[in-house]
A and B are shown apart, each in its own frame.
Chain A
């Protein structure tokens, strides 16, 4: 398991010594459909620092992929970013021009996807696909770019890199293809890498290798990593800090160890309990009852309340804010608020009272 690399991670306040590479504030991404507006991402705040790995966790349809795509401004219509700021280098990417974004993507901000083989152009040799990036973003000559690409393919552990560089994607295994994708995404040493379920399509045996590689390279390059996944095992192994998403909102953020040891939000607790534990035999897993509310639905109270075994009246009536807890943790739950302060309205720096419904 990866150790927590920096003591700085224990503090999540914006005034921490290392400024975040990217900071998202109040991000809302909406899809306009025939049935009305669907709030796929509904007020997400997050940040990552250089060399840090943030795990963005949640079940299918909770908005984690849309959050990731919003960060690179590649949500396609009818989706659009309705509100919020994405601060990178003092600039708000939500307002950035297309030309600025083109220069950033692949160079300063990069992304890899779930299906590595489908993400490579099937008719171009992989070496050239990597070399292309050096030619395009760095203006390198083809020969020099090729040599650089082969070096990079070696660095990501592609066996017989000089020869494999001449291969087409269909000649690679899934793990090899994901190594190539990692090489492409990290070719220009970006400051932020978003990995959307990078190991989901891979064999379990290859998963650990790929995660290890990804984490190691990001740490070497000082690249901030946002790891989008539904797999808590992957998060435990790779992330420094975790943000748990539910129904378009972040319901809990914490460093990885405390989160697993002591989840503050009932949903996180439910997720942890529904994981099979190796070597321990249980008759059945503790599934969370019910299912995710449909994204078009508007609810008066907490979105998790209908499935929550701890819910009380207030949960159904009033949406809880994201509450700051000791050690830089946050949770969106009325129960997480310490008893004396629970009654009065909470004005945490990141707390945003539920959206007007």
Chain B
């Protein structure tokens, strides 16, 4: 060969760091387990998932079973959380409610995430007029008061749990779109993206293959903020009678039907109320831990 070269560095074989690289997910989980609020939040999330997955095996009573003979019983040995105005077991209903929380959290966040990423990347990849149009649309959505936007969507689709999920999801799109656009623009200006372009990568490949993966950590962190908020919003909608409808044991809906008994039977409100409070707290703690673990600037 004529292009005889001398190696730049004469590293003896074996000095190169060649430890097998642990996959990213396992590394993140390990770091979460070492993080204090990561442990607490993680435990809360795990409990919610377990309740949602195995609720029907865990519950002592059928959550919809009316038993007028045992209505408004205080917490005790037979009904740990007490019973409500129709004699339904509150513990069973709270456990069952976890699946609605998870459902709402996952679906509405997925809608917001998917829509926002799509719009944000479209704006960046399209540039010029496309960018202008998409971002003005986003601005218009952001200009609506949050609750008004939710109410408008629900008014159009009719109140139900599904509608509440969709509405909360749509209302979350503009936030994601802005984040994605901002992050993607900063990645696009990096030199290695220019280098990729010179080596024949098109806009689609750069956008999906390079930009999207590199903004993913930021999206995960943002999601950890958005998901508890989405759950809370959906519960609030149910409480207003615009989401889950009774007798569905959704926690927000449980609060509405029993709020008139607050003065005489506090546990009727305390059970779903505490469930909402603790699960949101858990989600937030988990989100904070996730941000600490994923964001290198945040030690």
Contacts and interface: CB of A to CB of B under 8 A. Distances in A.
A72 B200 CA distance: 10
A205 to B, nearest CB: 9
Size category, A interface: 35 or more
Query: Looking at A105, A122, A212, which has the most chain B CB atoms within 10 Å of its CB?
Result: A105
Interface stretch (B71-79, B186-194, B236-244, B246-254): B186-194
B9 A159 contact: yes
A115 interface: yes
A212 B5 contact: yes
A283 B130 CA distance: 59
A298 interface: no
Contacts of B8: 157-159, 173, 175-176, 179, 206, 209
A118 B192 contact: yes
A102 B7 contact: no
Query: Looking at B7, B8, B9, B191, which has the most chain A CB atoms within 10 Å of its CB?
Result: B8
Contact of A136 (B10, B17, B201): B201
Contacts of A104: 200
B152 to A, nearest CB: 38
Query: Looking at A104, A119, A122, A155, which has the most chain B CB atoms within 10 Å of its CB?
Result: A119
Given A105-B200, A213-B5, A220-B1, 6 more contacts: A72-B198, A103-B200, A107-B200, A123-B214, A157-B8, A173-B9
B3 A113 contact: no
26 contacts: A74-B194, A74-B198, A102-B200, A104-B200, A105-B197, A105-B199, A105-B200, A110-B198, A111-B199, A113-B195, A118-B190, A119-B194, A122-B192, A133-B200, A137-B200, A156-B5, A157-B5, A157-B7, A171-B17, A176-B8, A179-B8, A181-B195, A185-B199, A216-B4, A219-B2, A220-B3
Cβ-closest 10 pairs across A and B: A106-B200, A216-B3, A106-B199, A157-B5, A118-B191, A119-B195, A105-B200, A159-B7, A111-B198, A175-B8
A158 B213 CA distance: 28
Interface stretch (A140-148, A160-168, A299-307): A160-168
A4 interface: no
B140 interface: no
Interface string A95-114: 00010001111110011110
B6 A209 contact: yes
Nearest to B6: A209
Given A118-B191, A171-B17, A160 B200 contact: no
B192 A102 contact: no
A171 B244 CA distance: 54
A151 B214 CA distance: 29
Interface string A180-199: 01001100000000000000
B28 interface: no
Nearest to B127: A77
B210 A121 contact: yes
A235 B195 CA distance: 23
A335 interface: no
Interface in B194-215: 194-202, 205, 210, 213-214
B191 A119 contact: yes
A105 B192 contact: no
B11 to A, nearest CB: 6
Contacts of B11: 159-160
Interface in A198-244: 206, 209, 212-213, 216-217, 219-220
A120 B5 contact: no
Given A175-B8, A209-B8, A220-B3, A136 B200 contact: yes
B196 A121 contact: yes
B219 to A, nearest CB: 15
Contact of A113 (B7, B13, B194): B194
B189 to A, nearest CB: 10
A119 B10 CA distance: 24
A167 B18 CA distance: 9
Nearest to B10: A159
Contact of A158 (B4, B7, B17): B7
Contacts of B192: 118-122
A219 B3 CA distance: 9
A337 B3 CA distance: 41
Contacts of B205: 136
Contacts of A106: 198-201
A156 B41 CA distance: 50
A202 to B, nearest CB: 10
Given A119-B191, A212-B5, A160 B13 contact: yes
A105 B195 contact: no
Nearest to A184: B199
B26 interface: no
A110 B214 CA distance: 25
A176 B10 CA distance: 12
A290 to B, nearest CB: 33
A122 to B, nearest CB: 7
A203 B5 CA distance: 17
B166 to A, nearest CB: 35
B202 to A, nearest CB: 5
A156 B17 CA distance: 21
Contacts of B4: 216
Contacts of A72: 198
Given A159-B8, A216-B3, A164 B16 contact: yes
A72 B18 CA distance: 38
B184 to A, nearest CB: 15
Interface string A60-78: 0000000000001010000
